[in-house]
A and B are shown apart, each in its own frame.
Chain A
Amino acid sequence: MIYTVPGSNNKKVSVIPSVLIILCLALIVIPTDTKIHISEIIIKIFYLPPNSLIEKFEDLYKIREKAKALETELVKTKLELSHYADAALENQRLREFLNFKTSYNIKLIPAEIVEAPDLPYYHSVIVNVGKKSGLRPDLAAISTRGLAGKVSRVYDSSAEIQLLLDPLSRVSVVDTRSRVQGILKVQMSGELILDNVPSHEDVKEGDTLKTSGLGGVYPPGIPAGVVTEFEVLSPSYLFAQIKVQPFAEFSRMERLFIIDSGTR
């Protein structure tokens, strides 16, 4: 059975392949220089576009890989920078403590805060050092900025630090300018105040308070806070209302140093 397709019997159609075959034979016999010239033109038209596309893709891939590597490097560098910044701060803190230690000749026991229970009227933190590290109850605990509290309970490998903000905390402090003494404690409102200071005493806003050493718990000279408000509520009031801002930033503390002055 013969299948015919429209247009396939056209004489013009059968001539075209014949002409092209003759052209092919002509190409076969033409000089090599001409062949090379023709091939150069063809390569420019048909081979260079896909090749340049490949090169572009390769470049894109390389750029992506490079970007990935740079991104990784950037993150690594950022981490390193952060580490260096921490190290610089740590260095600064340690220097501060070194000066402190030199001044007061005391032993500092570094302690990491491992737990900070957020309970009302109960302000304390748990640190990762205990009896094994030489901790005892009533040793003072300081942060890098100032007095933080004291050791209240000691276990083998941990201890509880009662913070200044605890309602049961009492610290004997002295105004470094006027040498007026008072008791640092927390009001029911949660504010730190300097208590037991007569109304006529010379205490001003901005005065720095340091531990007085009285009571034997806190060594003298530890910065505790700054006076933010001095108010005499009434002439008949015996004591002034003195608000204090503690130096220690309790919400940001990560580690403490337990002061062992060796007196007990």
Chain B
Amino acid sequence: MREAILIVFCLFIASFWEILISPVIAIYGIEPNIGVMLVAFFALYRTGFAYAFFAFLWGLIIDSVSPGNMGWNSLILILIGSAISFIRNHFNWQGVSTQVAVVFLSVLVHTSVNYIIQNIDSLGNFFYFIVRFAVASALYSGIIWLLIQYLPVFRYRTRGI
């Protein structure tokens, strides 16, 4: 129940973030990927099923803007969450640099795959997109994750696990 409430809360927070905050903090159109960051949070810090539910629902929310691709984002996010969960179970993930690398790669993969799905018919600008948006967005998300790590609440939780 507690996880469910947290998931719904995070969904609303992410929605508000995407609509209200992201446009404000965007740098030359580059925005941090709050959805992937939250999936990473659930996969790293919460119990096993929470990330999957969050990834599924957040994917639906993103896809509701372009209903033709409905299901794809959920699928990508669940797979990313599963990968992060695997890292959590098999590697030392508690280091800040590891977490930042996880977030960076997750955002990079999510943005890239999402682009491929949406532009499957014309992938001529794919590499430009990767360099211009996907890497930049992944870096931005990684930096934000790094900054969040220094918040006292996260430091406490990291030590506690």
Contacts and interface: CB of A to CB of B under 8 A. Distances in A.
B70 A46 contact: no
B143 to A, nearest CB: 24
Interface stretch (A26-34, A168-176, A244-252): A26-34
A25 B67 contact: no
A50 B64 contact: no
A188 interface: no
A123 B70 CA distance: 93
A119 interface: no
Question: Which size bracket describes the interface of B in this complex?
Answer: 35 or more
A54 B75 CA distance: 30
Given A16-B49, A38-B60, A46-B11, A2 B20 contact: no
B71 A28 contact: yes
Interface residues of A, number: 39
Contact of B15 (A17, A20, A28, A47): A47
A36 B68 CA distance: 8
A42 B11 CA distance: 11
Contact of A28 (B49, B70, B90): B70
Contacts of A4: 89
Contacts of B52: 16-17, 20
Interface in A34-69: 35-36, 38-40, 42-43, 46-47, 49-51, 53-54
A42 B16 CA distance: 14
B5 interface: no
A48 to B, nearest CB: 10
B56 A23 contact: yes
Q: Is the interface of B mostly helix, strand, loop or mixed?
A: helix
Contacts, number: 111
B16 A50 contact: yes
Given A27-B70, A38-B70, A21 B19 contact: no
Interface in B20-48: 20, 47-48
Given A28-B71, A39-B63, A16 B48 contact: yes
Contact of B61 (A2, A42, A51, A53): A42
Given A17-B78, A21-B78, A5 B89 contact: yes
B150 to A, nearest CB: 22
A50 B19 contact: yes
Q: Which of B71, B74, B75 has the most A CB atoms < 10 Å from its CB?
A: B71
Contact of A32 (B16, B48, B68): B68
B34 to A, nearest CB: 13
Contacts of A27: 60, 70-71, 74
A26 B60 CA distance: 13
Contacts of A17: 49, 52, 78, 81-82
Interface of A: 1-5, 7-10, 12-14, 16-17, 20-21, 23-30, 32, 35-36, 38-40, 42-43, 46-47, 49-51, 53-54
18 contacts: A3-B93, A8-B88, A17-B78, A24-B74, A25-B71, A27-B74, A30-B71, A32-B67, A39-B65, A42-B61, A43-B64, A46-B64, A47-B19, A47-B64, A47-B65, A50-B15, A50-B16, A50-B19
Given A7-B48, A10-B48, A54-B20, 12 more contacts: A2-B90, A4-B89, A16-B49, A17-B49, A20-B74, A26-B71, A27-B74, A30-B70, A32-B67, A39-B65, A43-B65, A47-B19
The list of the 3 closest CB pairs from A to B, nearest first, reads: A27-B71, A13-B48, A39-B64
